[in-house]
Amino acid sequence: MSQDILINWSPQETRVAVVEQGAVQEVHLERTLERGLVGNVYLGKVSRVLPGMQSAFIDIGLERAAFLHVADLMPQINAKHGPKDRNATASAAGSGGPDAVLPIERQVFEGQALMVQVLKDPIGTKGARLTAQISIAGRLLVFLPQDNHVGVSQKIPTEQREALRQRLTSLTALPGGAASGGFILRTNAEDSTDEELAEDIAYLRKTWDRIRDAATRQPPASLLHQDLNLIQRVLRDLVGAQTQSIRIDSREQFGLLQQFATEFMPATLKRLQLYTGERPIFDLHNVDEEIARALSRRVDLKSGGYLVIDQTEALTTVDVNTGGFVGARNFDDTVFKTNLEAAQAIARQLRLRNLGGIVIVDFIDMVRDEHRNAVLGEFRKQLSRDRVKTMLGDFSQLGLLEMTRKRTRESLAHMLSEPCPACEGKGVVKTARSVCYDILREILREARAFSPREFRVVASPQVVELFLDEESPHLAGLSDFIGKPISLTSESSMTQEQYDIVLL
């Protein structure tokens, strides 16, 4: 199926939409201020060694020095760049054997230049957490340039792991038995071809060559390698044989993307296009409207049916409803056609919203086995188009369909929205009448514990209005019962559930 990729760039945000046959299938976002440092490689300078903590502070050019623990040092780096203590190895062997970890003060020294990678971003007053064990992530593989181990993700079934390891070992071998570096095959590479793996290996080795070259030319506290931005990851992760065009609306970024493609992925060059139209690029396929709909619980189907999608901490539920669809000859056919359309729409919504983890789908109950099998087959077919790994079971005894989709990044809803301050993510708020009764009970509780001159209720306009109208007899009755006046103050900034009771 043909595919077009649209890239909308602005200084504050990059947005990418993957479009197939005129319909938006995926949306990716990256905001400049929220982009972290994890994965960046620096030529650091040791500014202080702390033997008591077995750690060191490393200057990598940031506002605060970064933190490196002894466990995150590489033995081969230590041996090459450590302090001039010729007896260190013998001492370690005598105290704990050849595999014993040397104290950090015998491995690094103040002023030493050390190649490091960011493990954790700086938070608050804490500097970034570093490692000297460099790893570079590709589309299908992770490259470990300081290691020679070839591994396979533990999430790939055991029976396939050894065959994949042998394939990868063969592809990564260099002529003459030269050290090739280590590689780890990622979960999404399970079904990759040798050609795809070879392309990723070439890209990763070229990236490492550039890092090493920069380390010889740059001064300490310099950035050697920055993890790819979203525009570059489009070429690495999203472009496939089915991609017809990659259109971007920024002339500057188009030039940078051409440079990146020329060096690392020349096969994608002919598909790059600069968009110069008057309309915003996302208006071409109503991408902004699709994003707005992807934040809604309800998804309408063309037939008149609809989906209700609820995303929770533990799982995502999808409920299929016939709605106003009555076009088939009988009820069974109506249900079947609605479920078939829903299977296509659900698979698309999973990609568009980037929903991961456990997903429970409640299709409309079907009586006939051939209908159930056809809907299941259609759902499997649609899920097979997903670049993210999915696993789908059969219908349960209760008629539910269970599946999992690998979490790759935050869902669209988590990136673009936050819990409502009024309902705190529950999706509902107490009625004004319920809040009135909460207030009455609270006043009675306070009256038994304290004896103020007056009670003043500060609440939302809706609650105060109800107290002045329908609930006024109850408020007056409580005032008579406790023998204290109760006054009301409306506060427009309060949500319907918020209130204060002030003792005067």
pLDDT in tens, 175-184: 766 667 899 9
Q: Is the pLDDT of residue 95 over 60?
A: no
Contact 367, 395 (CB under 8 A): no
For residue 312, the model assigns a pLDDT of: 83
Confidence of residue 267 (pLDDT cuts 50, 70, 90): confident
**What six digits make up the tokens of 307?**
């989906």
- For residue 187, pLDDT over 60 is answered with yes
| pLDDT exceeds 80 at position 382 | yes
Q: Is the pLDDT higher at 98 or at 203?
A: 203
Given the structure tokens 């209130």, which residue do they identify? Answer: 499
Query: Per residue in 211-225, pLDDT tens?
Result: 999 999 999 999 999
Band of residue 43 on the pLDDT scale cut at 50, 70, 90: very high
Q: Tokens in use for 225? A: 């390698």
* Rounded Cα gap, residues 140 and 237, in angstroms: 9
Compute the average pLDDT of residues 306-334: 82
Residue 94: pLDDT band by 50, 70, 90 thresholds?
A: very low
In 311-460, where does DSSP find H-type helix?
A: 331-353, 369-383, 412-416, 432-449
pLDDT bracket for residue 82 (50, 70, 90): very low
Contacts of 501 (CB under 8 A, 6+ apart): 439, 442, 443, 446, 455, 456, 457, 458
Look at residue 40 in the predicted model and tell me its pLDDT: 93
Tell me: pLDDT of 75 over 80.
no
Least confident of 49-58, 414-423, 472-481: 414-423
At residue 87, what is the residue type?
A: N
Q: What percent of the chain has pLDDT over 90?
A: 56
Q: Which residue has the higher pLDDT, 174 or 26?
A: 26
Instruction: Identify whether the C-beta of residue 352 lies closer than 8 Å to the C-beta of residue 340.
Output: no
329 pLDDT band (50/70/90 cuts)? low
Q: What is the pLDDT of residue 204?
A: 92
pLDDT in tens, 339-381: 999 999 999 999 999 998 999 999 999 888 999 999 999 999 9
Quick check: 459 pLDDT over 70? yes
CA distance 306 to 3: 26
- The β-bridge relationship of strands 499-503 and 455-459 is antiparallel
Give the fold, CATH level 3, of 3-35+229-287: Nucleotidyltransferase; domain 5 (3.30.420)
- Pick 359 or 322 by higher pLDDT: 359
Domain at 432-503, CATH from 3.40.50.1010, 3.40.1260.20, 3.40.50.1370, 2.40.50.140: 3.40.1260.20
- DSSP assignment of 23-79: EEEEEEEEEGGG---TT-EEEEEEEEEEGGGTEEEEE-SSSS-EEEEGGGS-HHHHH
- pLDDT above 70: percentage of residues in the chain: 93
Q: DSSP assignment of 262-299, as one string?
A: HHH-GGGGGGEEE---SS-GGGTTTHHHHHHHHTSSEE
pLDDT tens for 465-497 read 999 999 999 999 999 999 999 999 999 999 999
CA 241 to chain centre: 25
Predicted local confidence at residue 79, as pLDDT: 38
Q: Which fold does the domain 41-131 belong to in CATH? A: OB fold (Dihydrolipoamide Acetyltransferase, E2P) (2.40.50)
pLDDT of 41 > 90? The answer is: yes
DSSP symbols for 193-235: -HHHHHHHHHHHHHHHHHHHHHHHHSPSSEEEE----HHHHII
The pLDDT of residue 469 is 92
Confidence of residue 63 (pLDDT cuts 50, 70, 90): confident
Q: Report whether pLDDT(426) > 80.
A: no
Amino acid at 421: P
pLDDT beyond 70 at 324: no
Domain ranges, ordered by start, for the chain: 3-35+229-287, 41-131, 136-223, 295-416, 432-503
Could you give the angle at which helices 461-468 and 432-449 cross, rounded to 10 degrees? 80
Residues facing 115 on adjacent strands: 43
d(CA 456, CA 94): 77
136-223: what CATH class?
alpha beta
Strand partners, 317: 310, 360
Query: Dihedral through CA 241, CA 153, CA 383, CA 371, nearest 10?
Result: 140
